[in-house]
Amino acid sequence: MKQLFRVLTLCLLISFTSCQNESTDDTNQNPELRVVDGIVVGDGEEDKELMFNKSSEILMKSTGNASNCDYLVNGDDLPSSVSITTTAKPGSEGYFSININDSTDVLAGSDIPAWCVDVDLGLGANETHDFTVYSSYEPLPSGAFEHPENFDKVNWLLNQTIIGENSPNGLGAYTFGHIQYAIWDLIDDFNCNSCTYLTDPIGNWNSNGNDIAMGQELVNLAKNNGAGFTPQCGDKVGVVLIPNNDKQPLIIMKDLPEPEVCNDCLGKVNNITFKWDWPHDWRVRLYQRYKKTCYAVKIFDDVVGQDDLMSVSGANPNGTFGKWIYVYVGNCYYTKFKTNCSFNIGPGYKRGVVEVVSGTSTQGGELCEYEYQHCW
């Protein structure tokens, strides 16, 4: 097996080193793909330090479509703890209304709707406690919840406009109580018994016989539509608040910033779509370096034709590409795209017959159109 790997590696190196190169730069974007004796001519800027090993030919799955809102979704910008006072139970728009005292001002506010995520424990109105703060998408304390894997479905549910909408089965209009019932059903291992605070005035839950069925409608809706849901810019993300004593943990919703129409490349590129602008079909492979090593990681491998798109996300743990994306056509290096935002890449930028049609950067969001600037 080791001998076979040496042969395969040698063949790969021979095929790459036999390719032809010619020098170019950003002012000459190579409108055509040149082929000499069946060999693609590269741009002369091949990275001599880029190394290929056995793992380089394994197509890496991207770490996901990171966005400039991920710092909140992942909990990076949330305070570690806050002080909370419950001002009403039930609240006007949720199971609780709460005031949050937060020295960072990220979560601070008054009359914030909040939901209970543990039916086993109690918490009344007009109580003040310290809570530890977590994003519902980061690892939560072991054993804190029976079904933490369902927080994606809870996030989906709380991102919908539910209160006041009518049941599709003609059972009535949804209230905050039906949402709370669904949250308990998704996260806990059993639901409420008396369900006293799921109505206002309290104690009228299921008096018409439809409330449990309506709560279950929302459970099924979340299970059918919310699996794998991740909030994007303009959505809301669930923030889990766990008290530092034996009280009920809560979940509130934090607004994520609205997506910008476009912005300059800021941080590093994390998603990009290329277009193949050539009338002939070729096998195209895209590589990046793995983390800060010299080893190549394959992120795209397919045969593409005229106007076909190649969409990729960064394979690094933070969802980025690093400094470069390398383009190989056939068995040969062809060109590379700078993706560390030191160059303001954007839709319309071309290297040879490969054109950027869209992309995002970690701190800037959607990339703006590329504008060529000539220095005199």
| Mean pLDDT, rounded, for 211-221 | 97
- Beta-sheet pairing, 109-116 with 96-101: antiparallel
Per-residue pLDDT band for 23 (boundaries 50, 70, 90) equals very low
- For 129, left (φ over 0), alpha (ψ -120 to 50), or beta? beta
- Give the whole-angstrom CA distance, residue 252 versus residue 113: 7
Please state, for a pLDDT cut of 90, what percent of the chain lies above it. Answer: 70
Mean predicted lDDT score pLDDT of the chain: 88
What DSSP designation does 326 have? Answer: E
Nearest to 61 by CA among 292, 298, 326, 325: 298
* pTM of structure: 0.58
**E-strand spans in the chain?**
20-21, 35-36, 39-42, 81-88, 96-101, 109-116, 128-135, 236-243, 250-255, 269-276, 282-289, 296-304, 309-313, 324-329, 332-338, 350-351, 354-361, 365-366
324/178 Cα distance (integer angstroms): 50
Note whether 220 and 157 are within 8 A (CB).
Answer: no
CB within 8 Å of 202: residues ≥ 6 apart: 90, 196
Alpha carbon distance, N-terminus to C-terminus of the chain: 57
- What's the pLDDT tens digit per position in 289-323? 988 899 999 999 999 999 999 999 999 888 899 99
Lowest mean pLDDT among 78-82, 232-236, 337-341: 232-236
* Listed residue (240, 255, 260, 253) closest to 67, CA to CA: 260
| Confidence category of residue 59, pLDDT binned at 50, 70, 90 | confident
270 vs 259: CA distance, rounded Å? 15
Instruction: Specify burial of residue 268 (Cβ count, 10 A radius: 0-12, 13-18, 19+).
Output: buried
Q: Report yes or no: 240 and 148 within 8 Å, Cβ to Cβ.
A: no
Q: Is the pLDDT of residue 248 over 90?
A: yes
Each residue of 152-162: pLDDT tens digit?
A: 999 999 999 99
Tokens describing residue 3: 């001998």
Band of residue 24 on the pLDDT scale cut at 50, 70, 90: very low
- 237 φ, ψ to 5°? -115, 140
Nearest to 177 by CA among 216, 228, 138: 216
> Quick check: 146 and 188 in contact, CB under 8 A?
yes
Residues 39, 18: Cα–Cα separation, whole Å:
8
**pLDDT above 70 as % of the chain:** 88
Q: Which residue has the higher pLDDT, 70 or 103?
A: 103
Q: How far apart are alpha carbons 113 and 90 in whole angstroms?
A: 10
pLDDT digits (tens, 9 = 90+) for 82-123: 999 999 999 989 999 999 999 999 999 999 999 999 999 999
